[in-house]
Structures are given as structure tokens and as C-alpha cells.
């Protein structure tokens, strides 16, 4: 680009003036093809026209020069002026590219843009697509069931945790995000191996817009398909979670973590930055879902429309404390309430369960939970617990009613970063749950008591390797008569980030 500018400016006076329109035409073509921005185009055209004007003014003096020495001095002066103009253009172009790089760093789903509205308008006028960035990750999973007693093992979130599977892609995520305007942020994510009717296939995981209500973007409204603001484990990305799958006590509230909804979110700018940094510092935070959030969502699950005309209502408050020694502690409380319609099917020898108190509007579905996360610096511990009521199959498997539920988990971990920036994070988790699994057919009672130990090794940021061994007891909620299974199994995972 600097070479083009030099050619345009240093054209010898002997060339006809028509050379400038030709060069401007070249600049226009480059701009149309996207090689030049509007600002770069304007600067080059202005420099070319200024040079032509200067040549017309000084040409007679050069022509009447009495000696070669005078001509040489004039050429040296023109060369110095040309070099100065090229330098100025290179600096301007470098600054513009630096601004574009800055936008790519700050326009993500955990932080607001730090550029002013005027700067964004000038730099990216009519080029909203330049504001979008792409990212994603791939998880290749292999599970081996080493022991099962009392039935066949079934883990609700892990289709590979059974004795019929060997290896496959657990998640293949691709996301696009960015600030479309100074007031609208867009996030789209697809899972290329999401579950569709029990088989792998592309599935929409997120498609929402954040509409900012103030210039600082502290107040915003989120609308579309997104994660429901309930609990740390649900909001934390599977890309950042240490354990292979989420704990049942929390994930049974919103399986798939997402639903159609509208939420108001508020957080001061410095707290939004803190949420962002808890992810970018490698501490595996949950991301920015507001310090305070509340709203309504369908309540029937990811990519499923409402079936009873009554939305679920949810509210969450959380605060990430930062102590003088740099340690972070996040405390939160959340809850939701609504009506849930279960799906039913005939049970061999029993028949189809009757809706005991659900009717057409569904069953009472409500929970309240607490969260506490001490981020690993280097030791960390996180725990969540929730209590409530939800749809549950009776012990005789003939009736579905709304029954009590409770459960939670505790996870301890240690993060060690080597001198070459490699990381190893050993962890241990205990989880327990006793309550109905509302998203399963017939909403069977689910009991879980599991201990898992593992580690994550990160040789470089693009690759993360995880091994986790689990021992415990859980209900097979997939097949009647819903027996409790004792098991041991090992999971291995390779994750590629991009």
C-alpha cells in the first residue's frame, strides 16, 4: 500500500496530468474489493491530488533552472517530501490496523467494546461484518465402563458413558459474535455434533442479541436462545469446565443449559471486566451474565416451544470479590419457578403413568440455589446446592406428581503453571442428587452419589487433555424399571481450541 502511495506521489512532472485520475481509479477499485478502507482511500486520493497541484505550481521553476545543480536540488527536495508523505501514510495505516486489532480483542461475549461510539462509526461505517469474529472448540471423547452392577450405566449428559460406545466427537462448537452497532451485540453458536433424536447432527446452541440500554453497556436486555441464568455450573462453558460433564443436581434444572427467553442483566463496567478476566486469566469463570439478572423463558428445554402458555421466571444475583492479594471469590444465589409438562410413554407391565396433579398446565417446577467459587490461585474450591420441587414418577410408576428434590456438588482443584506456560490442573469432585429428572420420559426419580478424580493437562493453549475416573451409584433414567447402577468408568478427552 505504501508502494502505491509512493508511485502516486513520485510520478515525474513529464507525465501528463491524466495519470492522477488513473491512479484514483486504481484506488477506487482496491476500495471496492475491500483491500482499502474508506479512510485509507481518502488519504491516498488526497495525497495524490496534492502532489499534482504541487507539480503544476513548481513545474515552470524547474524547467527554467539554469544548471544541473539546481535540477538535482529540486529532485532531492521532492524525494524528501515523498518520503515524508509515505511515512505519514504508513503511520496512519498502521494506526487503523491497530484499531481493528483492538476491536477483535474486546468484542467478545464476555466484555463490552472499549472504543467510543464516534471511533467505531468512523472506522467501521457500513461494515458491520468486520465486527464479527469466529471461535470454537472440538472435544473428542472416549469412555470405558470398567464395572457396572445392577443394570446398564446411563449418564444423562454423556452418550459415550456406556459399554456400547468407544470413541467419538462429544462437542463440535462454532460461534460467531460481535457488536453489530454501538447498541446491539450478537452471538450465534452451533454444535455440529449436537444430539438430534438420539443421533449426532447440527443443532442451534445459542442465537441471541444483547441490546444495550446505556452508553456504558451496564444495562442490557438479552433476547433469543441462550443459557438460562441459573447456577455457575450451567453458565460455565464446557470449554472451561474441568469435569467431563456437569453435575446432575444442577443440570437437571435446565438440561442443555439453554432455552428461549428474555432477560434483563446489569453489572457495572468494572464488574463486567472482572467477569471477562476470570475467563481470560485461565481461572475458568462462568463469563458475563450480569451481576443481577432476571427474566422469563419457555421452560420446556433447548429448542422446544412452550407447551402450557406459562413461562418460567428466573432471577440470579452474583458478585465476584477481589481481595488485596489478588484472590477472587464469587458468591451467588438464584432461583426459578414455573410449570413443566412432562412427556410420557408406556412402561412394560405398568402402562402409561397418569398425571397426578399436572393437568394441562403441567407440574410445579421451582428451585432455589446457592453458589460459592474460590478460583484456583493456585488452590480452588467450588460448590453449589439447590432445593425445590419438580415432576417425579411415583415409586409404583403409575403416577407423576410434583415432589421434593435436593442435591449439589463440591469440587476442589489445584492449578500449576510451569515456566514454559504449560498447565496441569488436578481436581476431585463429589456430587449427589435425589429428585425427579423432568426432561426424561416419565420423569423418573433420579439418585446420584458419585466421586470423580482427574486432571487436565494443557501443553499449549490450543490443546487441552483431560482424564477422569468416576466411581459411584446412579439411576438409569433412560430405561424402565429405572434401576440403580453401581459403576466405575474412565473418560478421556482431547479438546482443540481455536
In degrees to the nearest 10, what's the CA dihedral of 124, 126, 127, 131?
Answer: 60
Residue 272 pLDDT > 70: yes
Locate the domains of the chain by residue range: 2-106, 120-497
Above 90 in pLDDT, residue 482?
yes
Render pLDDT for 134-145 as a digit per residue (tens, 0 to 9).
999 999 999 899
Position 166 confidence tier, pLDDT thresholds 50, 70, 90: confident
d(CA 53, CA 42): 17
Average pLDDT, the chain: 85
Residue 14's pLDDT band, with cuts at 50, 70 and 90, is very low
- 78-82, 209-213, 415-419: lowest mean pLDDT where? 78-82
| Full DSSP string of 226-244 | EE-S--HHHHS-TTT-SSS
Q: What's the pTM value of the predicted model, to 2 decimals?
A: 0.75
Between the alpha carbon of residue 124 and those of residues 32, 106, 224, 410, the distances in Å are 15, 15, 26, 47
Least confident of 182-196, 244-258, 310-324: 182-196
Model confidence at 286, in pLDDT bands (50, 70, 90)?
very high
Q: Tens of pLDDT along 324-371?
A: 999 999 999 999 999 999 999 999 999 999 886 666 789 999 999 999
Residues 6+ apart with CB under 8 A from 339: 299, 308, 310, 361, 362, 363, 364, 365
CATH architecture, domain defined by 120-497? Beta Barrel (2.40)
Cell of 147: 464395572
Would you state the cell numbers that stand for residue 246, as one nine-digit string?
A: 456437569
Most confident of 33-37, 157-161, 194-198, 396-400: 396-400
Written as nine digits, the cell of 443 is: 420423569
d(CA 17, CA 424): 67
Amino acid at each position: 500500500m505504501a508502494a502505491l502511495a509512493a508511485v502516486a506521489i513520485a510520478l515525474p512532472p513529464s507525465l501528463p496530468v491524466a495519470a492522477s485520475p488513473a491512479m484514483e481509479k486504481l484506488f477506487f477499485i482496491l476500495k471496492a474489493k475491500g483491500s482499502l478502507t474508506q479512510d485509507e482511500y481518502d488519504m491516498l486520493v488526497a495525497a495524490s491530488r496534492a502532489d499534482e497541484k504541487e507539480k503544476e505550481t513548481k513545474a515552470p521553476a524547474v524547467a527554467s533552472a539554469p544548471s544541473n545543480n539546481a535540477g538535482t536540488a529540486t529532485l532531492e527536495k521532492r524525494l524528501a517530501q515523498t518520503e515524508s508523505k509515505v511515512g505519514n501514510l504508513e503511520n496512519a495505516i498502521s494506526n487503523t490496523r491497530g484499531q481493528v486489532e483492538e476491536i477483535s480483542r474486546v468484542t467478545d461475549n464476555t466484555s463490552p467494546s472499549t472504543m467510543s461510539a464516534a471511533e467505531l462509526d468512523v472506522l467501521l461505517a457500513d461494515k458491520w461484518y468486520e465486527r464479527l469474529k469466529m471461535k470454537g472448540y472440538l472435544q473428542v471423547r472416549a469412555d470405558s465402563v470398567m464395572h457396572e452392577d445392577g443394570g446398564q450405566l446411563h449418564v444423562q449428559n454423556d452418550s459415550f458413558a456406556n459399554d456400547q460406545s468407544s470413541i467419538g466427537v462429544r462437542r463440535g462448537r462454532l460461534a460467531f459474535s460481535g457488536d453489530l452497532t454501538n447498541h446491539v451485540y450478537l452471538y450465534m453458536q452451533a454444535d455440529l455434533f449436537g444430539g438430534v433424536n438420539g443421533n449426532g447432527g447440527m443443532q442451534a446452541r445459542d442465537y441471541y442479541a444483547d441490546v444495550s440500554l446505556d452508553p456504558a453497556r451496564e444495562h442490557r436486555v438479552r433476547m433469543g436462545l441462550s443459557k438460562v441464568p441459573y447456577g455457575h455450573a450451567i453458565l460455565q462453558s464446557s470449554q472451561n469446565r474441568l469435569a467431563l460433564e456437569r453435575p446432575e443436581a444442577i443440570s437437571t434444572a435446565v438440561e442443555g443449559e439453554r432455552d428461549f427467553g428474555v432477560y434483563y442483566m446489569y453489572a457495572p463496567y468494572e464488574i463486567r471486566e472482572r467477569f471477562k478476566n476470570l475467563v481470560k486469566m485461565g481461572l475458568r469463570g462462568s463469563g458475563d451474565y450480569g451481576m443481577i439478572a432476571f427474566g422469563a423463558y419457555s421452560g420446556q428445554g433447548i429448542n422446544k416451544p412452550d407447551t402450557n402458555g406459562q413461562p418460567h421466571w428466573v432471577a440470579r444475583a452474583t458478585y465476584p470479590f477481589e481481595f488485596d492479594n489478588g484472590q477472587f471469590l464469587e458468591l451467588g444465589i438464584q432461583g426459578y419457578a414455573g410449570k413443566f409438562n412432562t412427556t410420557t410413554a408406556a412402561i412394560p407391565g405398568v402402562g402409561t403413568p397418569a398425571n397426578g396433579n399436572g393437568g394441562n398446565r403441567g407440574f410445579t417446577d421451582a428451585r432455589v440455589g446457592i453458589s460459592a467459587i474460590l478460583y484456583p490461585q493456585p488452590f480452588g474450591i467450588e460448590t453449589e446446592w439447590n432445593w425445590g420441587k419438580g415432576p417425579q414418577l411415583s415409586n409404583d410408576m403409575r403416577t407423576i406428581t410434583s415432589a421434593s428434590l435436593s442435591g449439589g456438588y463440591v469440587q476442589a482443584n489445584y492449578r500449576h503453571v510451569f515456566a514454559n506456560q504449560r498447565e496441569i490442573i488436578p481436581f476431585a469432585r463429589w456430587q449427589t442428587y435425589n429428585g425427579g429428572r423432568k426432561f426424561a420420559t416419565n420423569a423418573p426419580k433420579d439418585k446420584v452419589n458419585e466421586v470423580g478424580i482427574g486432571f487436565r493437562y494443557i501443553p499449549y493453549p490450543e490443546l487441552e487433555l483431560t482424564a477422569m475416573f468416576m466411581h459411584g451409584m446412579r439411576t438409569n433414567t433412560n430405561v424402565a424399571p429405572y434401576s440403580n447402577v453401581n459403576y466405575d468408568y474412565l473418560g478421556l478427552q482431547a479438546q482443540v481450541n481455536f
